Structure 1
């Protein structure tokens, strides 16, 4: 019956994973602050940099935020001139979003900063260990009922 409870949190993979997430988020917040970007704004820019034309719904899903939150993110980035959206949807209701030239420039700076955070956080692990960890975590995600 003792195996049915979480037990010692220091031995829980989920708890340590949450600690890693919190450490990464805090370090990303700090690295992005000089660029006047939040983590969701950076995620939006990175997603659009890799897949231009994503809709609000697609961006929200991939950035792990609600559609309402993504609307605010998009509005703020558009006000800063970092992305473009048509006034009317070319078809359907989705407004495809793309990075402006300024958006591409700030994405490059932000991406370099976030990569440095990731490299620092995972520096105790060898490249091979990092790849194995990524593969193991991806396998967990793939087996999740939510995926």
Structure 2
């Protein structure tokens, strides 16, 4: 019985490099969003709603890569701040469509600008060609593992 190949050196592991990059990005986004009193999951929900109004909580959970329970807490907090609204009853089915308020749109503009500055700083060493290549390569890696694009997110 032969053993399979192991991960080997962490310095050579693509998965470890991706995790380090994701952790660095998350830390920089946390710092950029802190003055706006937003967390990364809150920002993710605002950005998703800004680009796709009317998503349900389940859609937002999938799009923000968090659990439905966590998304419910995020949405409650955003509602309390007057940044999003949800109807009291579903217009059809069980899903409650979430919408940004005027205050939500305004805060989203500031938050999106802050996050874009973080992304620019992260990607600057790659140049335009390298950035396009990175997006293409990451999409190919995602497709190779069979992840499907979330409907509506």
TM-score range normalised by the length of the shorter chain: over 0.9
- 1:6-33 deviations in Å (ceiling 9; x for gaps): 1111111111111110000000000000
The TM-score normalised by the length of structure 1 is 0.96
Structure 1: which 5+ residue stretches go unaligned?
none
| Higher normalized contact order (CA 8 Å, seq sep 6+, divided by chain length) | 2
Corresponding residue for residue 112 of structure 1: 113
Corresponding residue for residue 132 of structure 2: 131
- In 2, Cα distance between equivalents of 1:2 and 1:113: 47
- RMSD, aligned α-carbons: 1.3
Residues 1:77 and 2:86 are matched in the alignment: no
The TM-score normalised by the length of structure 2 is 0.93
Alpha-carbon offset, residue 61 of structure 1: 0.6
- 1:116-137 deviations in Å (ceiling 9; x for gaps): 0000011111111011011000
Corresponding residue for residue 87 of structure 2: 86
SS of the aligned residue for 1:37 comes to coil
Alpha-carbon offset, residue 145 of structure 1: 3.3
- In 2, Cα distance between equivalents of 1:87 and 1:98: 13
Corresponding residue for residue 102 of structure 1: 103
- In 1, Cα distance between equivalents of 2:31 and 2:91: 38
Corresponding residue for residue 10 of structure 2: 9
Corresponding residue for residue 19 of structure 1: 20
Corresponding residue for residue 121 of structure 1: 122
Aligned residues: 147
Alpha-carbon offset, residue 3 of structure 1: 7.0
Corresponding residue for residue 59 of structure 1: 60
Alpha-carbon offset, residue 2 of structure 1: 8.4
Corresponding residue for residue 48 of structure 1: 49
